[in-house]
Structure formats: structure tokens, C-alpha cells
Amino acid sequence: MQKKFIINLFFLLGLNLLVKPFWIFGIDRTVQNTVGAEQYGLYFAVLNFSFLFTFLLDFGLTGFNNRNVARYSHMINKYVSNILGMKSLLALLYGIVSVSIAFIIGYDTLHFKLFLWVGINQMLSSLILYLRSNISGLQLFKTDSVLSVLDRLLMIIFCSVLIWGNVFNVEINIYYFASLQTLAYIITALIAFYIVIRYSALKKIKWDMKLYRVLFRQSFPFALLAFLMLFYYRVDSVMLERLLPNGSIHAGMYASAYRLLDALNMFAYLFAVILLPLFSRMFAEKIDTGKIINIAASLLLSSSMLFAALGWFFPKEIIDLLYIEHIKESSDVLKILLPGIIPLSMVYIFGTLLTAHGSLKILNIIAAIGVILNIGLNFILIPVMKEQGAAIAGVSTQFMVAVSQLILVFIIVKPKALAKNMFLLLLFGILLFIAGILFKEYTNNLNIQIAGLVIIWLIFIAYKAIILYRQSSFSILKQLPWNKS
């Protein structure tokens, strides 16, 4: 299990490292700089508004399906034929609810014109994630890895032609950007659908209302959890745009910093993609999850701490390198936001573990508290501190949720050696922070400062790798014939 996890994780990370950095820093950043803070801020607010209701598109079916296909792969044909029918009804429900609420909060023609494309994209994205949950549930991780980057790879091609190719005499705007995403999603969905048909022998989509009621009851806890977590993760920019005069500009400044957090979050999420079906199968086969958790935590949390330190000590340098507007405002936000990758990473490990375990009731209670805390803090802080207030509200909520989930893992799952590993990670985080202060104090060379932090991280990773290698070698030696009696 450890070998399988590490191989598939590095394949997935490798593909994403090839594609997504160019997407984020080459395409998305170029579009953001080209259209300006106000237009991109409008897009960012509408995009995050559309995210708030994506639980209706999925209703927990992806998490439910991933967990069940991993445990009962022979049932995939029944799951696919019925769930696809249910998802088409959910897409209709999503459209009705999201448009109705958009009217209620005062969206105008400009908002709705953009929301049309963004809403369609959410429907297609949800379909792709569901189809991928079947593929990863069957443990076809390499195929799923390719699909995880395909839509972004297509977008890189489309946008490169439009921005730099001079093939069409058209200047990029936010509407072209959104519509090109629609095309990329359609192509990816068709390819994913073909793969699922091959493995499930799907012949037709079924419409069984009795089964839908059963699926509704079984997937409702997953749906509620998805909604609550999306809400406190995405609502900040929506409230910024609605609560402040010139809200689109403030949302644009917030977006410049937030996109970097979101970029890191994409990579952290990849751990959950592999861990959920893996944990589900391990629980089904009564295999201890401790070693996998410790490997994932060592890799992901130490990396998150490194990026949090870079964001804390060098926010202006990072923003100045990437953007051309509102450098000070965005760098002030980045300093607060980027440490948020630590709790987000914790949730992708410990929240995923608890989901695979089936501890959804307590996860939903924690997430509901997170929503209340986030909304309350945003209402208090945004009018006073603007985009910095939204950042504080978001990161505070994430830390509350992550620490609560970690405590639950100790109480419910009790994985081996986790306490020791978390203590080592805490010491590493403190050491990294102290080193950052010392580097800033005693050298003005930016390259030395950054290299110093990266070297400390590499030493920690090497130390953990040596321990893992020794443990693996010891396990192999114990299994040799002359050591058995």
C-alpha cells in the first residue's frame, strides 16, 4: 500500500507540476493582468458565488461513489447507470436555485452574462469529477491523473492561440476566457465518459426514483459536508464584492493573493484524490492507516509550512513578480492568506481519513461551526479591514476546522505514531519560522534567504525518507525465511 501510494502520488504530482504552474502563472495570471483588477474581480466573485451551490450538482455523490466503488468495484455498472440520471436532475436544480439567489442578492445583466458561462462550467466540472471518482475508485490512478490535468492542458492551448498566436484578431476578455473553459470541459467530459463506459459496460442511463431516494439518504451527509466546506472557503470574495463600495476592485486585489493560495490548494487536493479510495479500501480490509497518514503528513504539511513561510516573509516580492496592479494591497493579503495552506492541507489528510472512516456527522458539525464563524468574522472585519479582514476570517476558520479534525483523528481512528510525527512537524515549523527571522535579520540577499528555507525543508524531507527506507528494509528482513520460526 505504501509503495502504491507513493508511486501514484508522484505520478499525479509530476503531471500536475508540468501543466498547472504554466496554467496558473502563464495563462491565468496573464488574463488577470490583461483584463484588470475590476473585470477579473467581477469574474472571481461570480465564480466563487457559483461554487457556493455546487453541492447541489453533486449532492455528495462523488465522495459516496468513490468510497463505494473502491470497496465494491463489481457494483460499478449499477452505480454509474443510476447516478448519471440523478446528476442530470441535480444540474437542473442547481440552475434554478443559483439563478434565483443571484436575483435575490441583486445581480445585474453584467453579472448574469458571466454567470451563464461560469454556471455551465460548474455543471461540466461536477460531471468530470463524478466520472473520475469511478476511475480512481477502480484504483486506475494513472488514468485519473491524466484526466486531472486534461482540461487545463486544453485551456493552455486555446488561450495561448488567442493571447500570443495572433491567429484571430481578437483581444482576450473575461467572457472569452470563461467560454474557452466550457470547450475544454466538454472535451474532457467526453473522454472521461468513454473510459467509464469501457470499464462499467454501461448500456443505458436509468431513471429509478426509488433508488434516487436511497442514494439521496446515503449521500446527504457527503452533500452537506461539501456545501459547508465550500461555503466557508469561497464566500469571502462574494461578501467583499457585495459589502464594499467598488467591491469588484477589492475582490480583484483579494483574488491576486487568493489565486496563489488556490494554486497550492490544487496540489494539496491531489493527496485527497488518492487518499480517499485508498483509506476506504484499507478500512474495508482492516489495514492500519498509520504509515500512509504519516507519509502524507510529512510530505504535504512540511511543504505547506515552507510555502507559508515564503508567503509570510516575502509577500511583496512574490506579488511584485507576478502582477502589475495594487502590489501593496495584494501583498498585505498574501501575507495573511498563504499560511492558510497549512490547515487546508491538514483537512485534505485528516478530513479525508474521517470521511473514509464514515465519521460524517461530526465532520458536518465542525464544518457548520466553521460557516457560522466565517460569516460572523467577515461581517465584522470586512467593513473595517476590507480584503485583509476577509483573509483573516478565512484563515482563522480553516485553522479551527483543521485542528478539530486532527483531535477527532486521535480520538476515533487512533493511527500509529501520528502524535510523534505531528510533534516533529510542529518542531520543523517552529525551526523554519525562526530561520526565516534570522535570514531576514542577517542578510539582505533574497536568494540566500529563500535558498536557506528551502534547504531546511530538503533536510527534513531527506530525514523522513531515510526513516521510511529503514523501516521498509527492516520489514523486508523480518519476512526472510531464515528469520521465520
What does the alpha-carbon distance between residue 96 and residue 301 come to, in Å, rounded to a whole number?
40
For residues 26 and 160, what is the distance between their CA atoms, to the nearest angstrom? 9
- Which cell numbers in the block locate residue 78? 449499477
Q: Are the CB atoms for 32 and 255 separated by under 8 Å?
A: yes
**Using CA of residue 165, residue 170, residue 176, residue 180, what is the dihedral sign?**
negative
Cell numbers for 139, please give them. 484504483
Helix intervals (H) in 205-289: 209-243, 247-284
Q: What pLDDT is attached to residue 1?
A: 56
Helix axis angle for 174-200 and 141-163, nearest 10°, is 150
C-alpha cell at 147: 484526466
Give the number of other Cβ atoms within 10 Å of residue 89's Cβ.
13
95-108 confidence digits (pLDDT tens):
999 999 988 888 88
Nearest to residue 449, comparing CAs of 344, 309, 348?
309
Angle (CA) 452-263-189 rounded to 5° is: 145
The residue length of the chain stands at: 485
Give the pLDDT confidence score for residue 482 in this predicted structure.
Answer: 39
How is 35-89 classified by DSSP, letter by letter? H-HHHHHHHHHHHHHHHTTHHHHHTTHHHHHHHHHHH-GGGHHHHHHHHHHHHHH
Could you read off the pLDDT of 259-279 as tens digits, one per residue? Answer: 888 888 888 888 887 788 788
pLDDT of residue 376: 94
pLDDT for res 2: 59
What's the confidence (pLDDT) of residue 4?
63
Helices 387-412 and 360-385, packing angle to 10 deg: 160
pTM of the model: 0.77
What are the angstrom distances between the C-alpha of 308 and each of 302, 311, 481? 10, 5, 48
Q: What residue ranges do the domains of the chain occupy?
A: 2-416
Angstrom distance (rounded) from CA 251 to CA 382: 11
pLDDT (0 to 100) of residue 73: 63
> What pLDDT is stored for residue 406 in this prediction?
94
Give the chain's residues under pLDDT 50. Answer: 473-485
CA nearest to 367, candidates 375, 353, 125: 375
Cα–Cα distance, 338 to 388 (Å, whole number): 12
Cα(482)–Cα(485) distance, rounded to whole angstroms?
Answer: 8
Cell of 414: 487512533
Task: Decide if 361 contacts 308 (C-beta within 8 A).
Answer: no
Q: Which amino acid is at 41?
A: G
Tell me the three cell numbers of residue 447: 536568494
Q: What is the pLDDT of residues 220-259, one digit of tens each?
A: 887 788 888 888 888 888 888 888 887 778 888 888 888 8
Q: Cell match 473522454: residue?
A: 191
User: How far is it, in rounded angstroms, from Cα 216 to Cα 83?
Assistant: 10
Distance CA 234, CA 223 (A): 16
Please report the DSSP string for 276-295 in residue order: HHHHHHHHHTT---HHHHHH
